[in-house]
């Protein structure tokens, strides 16, 4: 198995809290990894560190065997879909413009049409991004993330505030990307059922990593599932 | 209107420089408006006033000192925002008043307001020399070429900094480049509308165009067209009626904005 990501002893200390504490795990090529954990578990911190947005960490993060502190080249192989892409609502860009922003090789015009078709947003190509529904916008951002044919797709809780029908379509797209195009997917989610259905590996994070392995193992272990549910329930109560 | 005015060479220079500045301000301004940096042009212009006063005091061509001061100020605003976490609008306010204050003190030392100061405050497009025109055209050309070459990177980092970073775009360098170009654009445009009305050229055509355009290029082209229309018509009208070009140009672009708002609220402007 080719290791695409290796995280060793990753610790992130914020002034008032330890966001990640000695987290280590490996992601192999072709994995569909669901990262679960309550709010504030450190999922976004983990992603920020992996993507080079947070550089204040201890430990090492390697992509394709290379330390990301040494070179940013690995970013070329990554497509990233943020939780909720923030932009001005009346920003004058069309769907086509947004996907084109992501396109590294600007001469590769056909690729834009191809990816828009693949994600069923071809007919929206000339619409302004701010006029679309949450589900449509999300598919646009996935298209942008995929336009350079990345080897890894990273998605940060990508279904927040999106209608059920769009979520179903989104999940089927993810499944196809992983099974047919062999893209490694790293996906953080609140939805345990969805992780159970889609992911073949699970990482359970609550500042420390308290489980990482095949999803069957996680979901067949009642104790682990209960532990996770209690942790997120506590967090939920805490927030209200 | 007599067509005779189109035969004067000062009018040729005014129109050519005016069109170049109109295009430059609308393109650079579009990025500033979308970055919520609308008053940036104002801050730079006011701080360049300090530079103009300095130039007049020591006997250097005032626009050169203005270029120096405005570029430094542009970089200071960005630094204040990044380093000390002072919000964009507050750092703009600090710089805006410092520039005017420094300018006023220097003017005091050099013996009070003169006709030169007024021409920088309110513009003097009908007085541009051949050298000025060449400089305006060259700077416009250079900045537009840089923007075209780095179009994707500039647009992407304006749209969403974080995602642009993840795509490997050197967002911080691009940010500095934009404020640097904005600094040059402001001083270049002082001759057209003066220190006090610069931000109108940066902001108004773009606010108007955003209501029409769907895509980015379309919006930029609409903005440039409105801007060029206001500048050319403004220069001609102001000459015929012997009123100030700066005021006329800005009022015309406000008229286009107001008209667009009326059309929009009447439901005649649909984006789909």
User: Mind listing the pLDDT tens digit for each residue in B68-123?
Assistant: 999 988 888 888 777 877 777 787 888 888 888 988 898 888 777 676 788 888 88
CATH numbers and ranges of domains, chain A: 3-219 (3.40.50.300)
**What's the ipTM?**
0.85
Share of chain A above pLDDT 70, in %: 95
Q: What is the pTM of this model?
A: 0.88
Closest CA to B203 of B259, B254, B152, B247: B254
Q: Where are the alpha helices (DSSP H) in chain A?
A: 43-50, 95-102, 109-118, 134-146, 164-179, 192-198, 215-220, 222-239
Shortest CA gap B270–chain A (Å):
12
Of the partner residues B156, B164, B213, the one whose CB lies closest to the CB of residue A92: B213
Confidence at residue A227, expressed as pLDDT on a 0 to 100 scale: 74
Residue B124 to residue B246: CA distance in whole angstroms: 8
The CA angle A132-A138-A139, to the nearest 5 degrees, is 95
Query: Cβ of B129 under 8 Å from any chain A Cβ?
Result: no
Query: Cβ of A71 under 8 Å from any chain B Cβ?
Result: no
Task: Return the structure tokens found at A215.
Answer: 């999803």
How many domains does chain B divide into?
A: 1
Shortest CA gap B80–chain A (Å):
21
Residue B255 maps to a domain: no
Chain B residues with CB under 8 Å of A127 CB are: 214, 272
Residue carrying the six token digits 């500033």: B32
> Average pLDDT in the A199-213 region?
89
Residue B257 maps to a domain: no
**CATH assignment at residue B45:** 1.10.3470.10
Residue B264 maps to a domain: no
Residue B232 to residue B238: CA distance in whole angstroms: 10
Residue B203 maps to a domain: no
Q: Residues 23 to 62 of B: which have CB under 8 A from any A CB?
A: 34, 36
Residue B51 maps to a domain: yes
Residue B180 maps to a domain: yes
Buried (b) or exposed (e) across A123-153, using 16+ Cβ within 10 A? ebbebbbebbeebbbbbbbbbbbbbbebbbb
Q: Poorest-confidence range of B102-116, B155-169, B189-203?
A: B102-116
DSSP B5: G
Structural domain span for residue B114: 7-198
Confidence at residue A240, expressed as pLDDT on a 0 to 100 scale: 45
Residue B31 maps to a domain: yes
Residue A19 to residue A7: CA distance in whole angstroms: 15
Closest CA to A56 of A102, A15, A91, A88: A15
Q: Do B166 and A86 make contact, defined as CB atoms within 8 angstroms?
A: no
Residue carrying the six token digits 């355009």: B213
Residue B235 maps to a domain: no
């Amino acid at each position: 198995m080719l290791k695409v990501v290796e995280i060793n002893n990753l610790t992130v200390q914020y002034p008032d809290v330890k966001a990640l504490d000695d987290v280590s795990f490996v992601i192999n090529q072709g994995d569909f990894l669901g990262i679960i954990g309550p709010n504030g578990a450190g999922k976004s911190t983990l992603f920020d560190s992996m993507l080079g947005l947070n550089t204040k960490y201890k430990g090492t993060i390697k992509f394709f065997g290379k330390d990301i502190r040494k070179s940013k080249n690995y970013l070329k192989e990554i497509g990233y879909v943020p939780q909720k892409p923030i932009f001005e609502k009346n920003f004058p860009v069309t769907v086509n413009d947004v996907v084109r922003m992501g396109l590294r090789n600007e001469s590769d015009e056909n690729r834009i049409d191809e990816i828009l078709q693949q994600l069923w947003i071809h007919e929206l190509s000339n619409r302004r991004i701010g006029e679309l529904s949450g589900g449509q916008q999300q598919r646009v951002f996935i298209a942008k993330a995929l336009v350079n044919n990345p080897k890894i797709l990273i998605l940060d809780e990508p279904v927040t505030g999106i209608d059920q029908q769009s979520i179903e379509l989104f999940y089927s797209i993810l499944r196809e990307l992983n099974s047919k195009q062999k893209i490694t997917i790293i996906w953080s989610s609140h939805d345990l059922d969805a992780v159970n259905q889609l992911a073949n590996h699970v990482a359970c994070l609550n500042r420390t990593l308290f489980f990482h392995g095949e999803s069957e193992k996680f979901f067949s272990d009642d104790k682990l599932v209960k532990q996770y549910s209690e942790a997120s329930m506590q967090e939920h109560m805490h927030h209200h | 209107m007599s067509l005779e005015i189109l035969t004067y060479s000062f009018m040729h220079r005014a129109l050519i420089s005016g069109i170049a500045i109109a295009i430059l301000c609308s393109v650079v301004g579009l990025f500033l408006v979308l970055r919520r940096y609308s008053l940036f042009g104002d801050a730079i212009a006011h701080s360049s006033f300090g530079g103009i006063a300095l130039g007049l005091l020591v006997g250097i061509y005032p626009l050169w000192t203005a270029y120096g001061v405005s570029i430094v100020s542009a970089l200071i605003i960005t630094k204040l925002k990044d380093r000390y976490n002072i919000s964009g609008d507050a750092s703009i306010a600090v710089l805006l008043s410092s520039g005017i204050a420094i300018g006023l003190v220097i003017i005091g030392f050099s013996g009070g307001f003169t006709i030169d100061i007024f021409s920088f405050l309110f513009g003097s497009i009908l007085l541009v020399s051949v050298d000025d025109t060449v400089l305006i055209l060259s700077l416009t050309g250079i900045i537009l070429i840089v923007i075209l070459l780095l179009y994707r990177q500039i647009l992407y980092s304006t749209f969403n900094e974080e995602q642009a970073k993840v795509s490997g775009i050197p967002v911080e360098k691009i940010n500095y480049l934009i404020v640097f170009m904005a600094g040059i654009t402001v001083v270049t445009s002082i001759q057209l509308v003066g220190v006090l009305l610069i931000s109108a050229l940066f902001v108004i055509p773009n606010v108007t165009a955003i209501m029409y355009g769907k895509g980015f290029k379309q919006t930029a082209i609409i903005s440039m067209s409105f801007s060029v229309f206001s500048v050319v018509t403004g220069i001609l009208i102001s000459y015929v009626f012997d009123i100030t070009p700066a005021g006329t140009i800005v009022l015309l672009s406000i008229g286009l904005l107001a008209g667009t708002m009326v059309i929009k609220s009447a439901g005649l402007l649909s984006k789909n």
